[in-house]
Amino acid sequence: MTDQFDYVVVGGGSAGAAVASRLSEDPDVTVCLLEAGPSDVGDRNILELNRWMALLESGYDWDYLIEPQENGNSFMRHARARVLGGCSSHNSCIAFWAPAEDLDEWESMGLTGWGAKDVFPLYKRLETNDGPGEHHGRSGPVTIRSVPPKDPCGVALLEACAQQGIPTTEFNSGTTVTHGANWFQINAREDGTRSSSSVSYLHPVLDRPNLEIRTNAWARKVTFDGTRATGVQYLDEDQIHTRSVSARREVVLSTGAIDTPKLLMLSGIGPAEHLREFGIDVLVDSPGVGSTLQDHPEGVISWDAKQPMVTDSTQWWEIGIFTQTEEGLDRPDLMFHYGSVPFDMHTVRQGYPTSENAFCLTPNVTRARSNGTVRLRSRDFRDKPAVDPKYFTHPHDMRVMTEGIKLARKIVEQPAMREWAGAELFPGPDVRTDDEIADYISRTHNTVYHPAASVPMGTEADKPLDARLRVKGVHGLRVADASAMPFLVTVNPNITTMAIGEKCSDMLKEDNA
């Protein structure tokens, strides 16, 4: 087994799998992909999309508890996947192109090459999409398809949205939906197999001789010669011995918005005072590492169903609703997921009633203004980091979510839902005022599991990455995952994270030609 390659990619997740696959298309380029978790090959628990909720808090989940929240739900935990394919092997596979306005704002921040004109072609390249329009890709590795309208409660909900003035609107049309609802598109195959980054990018090339995938290989730190990244130390799958793998050209970190800042800090790149607190030698004082964590916080409102809910589904969360809580926005500030399940994981402990035959709407804040942090607990790579999302520390976020609970009630009060909506289970009909709703939200909210922007690109000195995903202050080290986003996109970000992997592979080929 060789331990020297042209590129070492750490993290076989949504972006990392794309990077490794694209780089190894050149038979003269050798790539080593390190993944801390097991392989997903042949594992029905992972591959069958409709099982995804059972993966939460399972052995496939890093299951990061969050720090106590002053304004939010301290019981909440962040699910991060510990398996080949990363969170694309662990999530509900809701597939969105980011709004052009998000990407153009990235470019306006000085990030040349990240506007919609540059990123939309990457979406087209990566997808095989059944949606209408010449803008869609028809031959990419990731299968994206529209959810079939088989859930009768969901059909009624879309009719109720229209009665409330929220029209049924095509998603992923190339035009941003600021006020509309529809069945989602999902990255999944017709047989129910998730089209994760692993299934899409890695499974077809597992026998590629110049690509070596090492699973159960937990990265300890990046190694350096001076300020040049030379490779990675990792814990072998025997869980005893440390091994090293070296990169002749570059190292790419794709371990996600929680573990990438952690790995950088363990490697001496981060806020200097914080690193010295744990006796870590400071290679680069980079105060922006782990300092701007963003997320989509999510509330929930649920009703007992008068009729039997579906007993089978593509992934149980099949409809999205977008709208605005104030005039003049070019992007929605409020989104809902419709679930054909009760989703009571944070309400039962607070004493709210529940039902196994229920449905829910989950309002989330698409452009939350509360920023959190990722910090080390110790210098031991095995210790989980301290994740503090600082939910609802900006009043905008609670205002938007409170409006979401009120709008959800208006939708479900429409005539189309009369045959479906029974008693409101939580928060319950007695919770009416904004203060009462806010109190309920702060005790029971969840997350859409979209942490991002914790190692952001930017032209400012305190931003850890430049526009080519290079870590500032060192050479031969890049980041390709959701942590690199300058801010979290308005929609579910997984397809954009794959596109970041596509973009990174292009940059590596260009810069190492």
**SS3 category, 202:** helix
* 68: β partners: none
Among 118, 101, 111, CA closest to 460: 111
Count of beta carbons in the 10 Å neighbourhood of residue 444 = 24
CA separation for the pair 84, 198 (Å, rounded) = 6
CA separation for the pair 367, 295 (Å, rounded) = 9
Residue 428, both tokens: 């319950």
Binding residues: 83
CA separation for the pair 284, 271 (Å, rounded) = 8
Calculate ∠ Cα 277-253-377, nearest 5°: 25
Q: In angstroms, what CA-CA distances link 277 with 222, 274, 282?
A: 20, 5, 11
Calculate ∠ Cα 84-86-91, nearest 5°: 125
Instruction: Please provide the DSSP assignment of 154-180 as one string.
Output: HHHHHHHHHHTT--B--SSSSS--SSE
Does residue 427 have a cis peptide bond before it, meaning omega lies within 30 degrees of 0? yes
Residue 223, both tokens: 């190694």
Residue with the two structure tokens 């060192």: 474
Residue 100, both tokens: 């052009």
Binding residues for FAD: 83
Residue 60, both tokens: 């496939």
- Burial tier of 179 (Cβ tally within 10 Å: 0-12, 13-18, 19+): middle
Give the CA count within 13 Å in the CB-facing half-sphere of 7: 34
CA separation for the pair 427, 431 (Å, rounded) = 6
Backbone φ and ψ for 101, nearest 5 degrees, come out as -65, -35
Instruction: Please provide the DSSP assignment of 390-426 as one string.
Output: -TT-SHHHHHHHHHHHHHHHHHHTSGGGTTTEEEEEE
Residues annotated catalytic, as ranges:
450
CA separation for the pair 28, 446 (Å, rounded) = 46
For 321, the enclosing helix (H) or strand (E) is strand 317-323
CA separation for the pair 458, 460 (Å, rounded) = 6
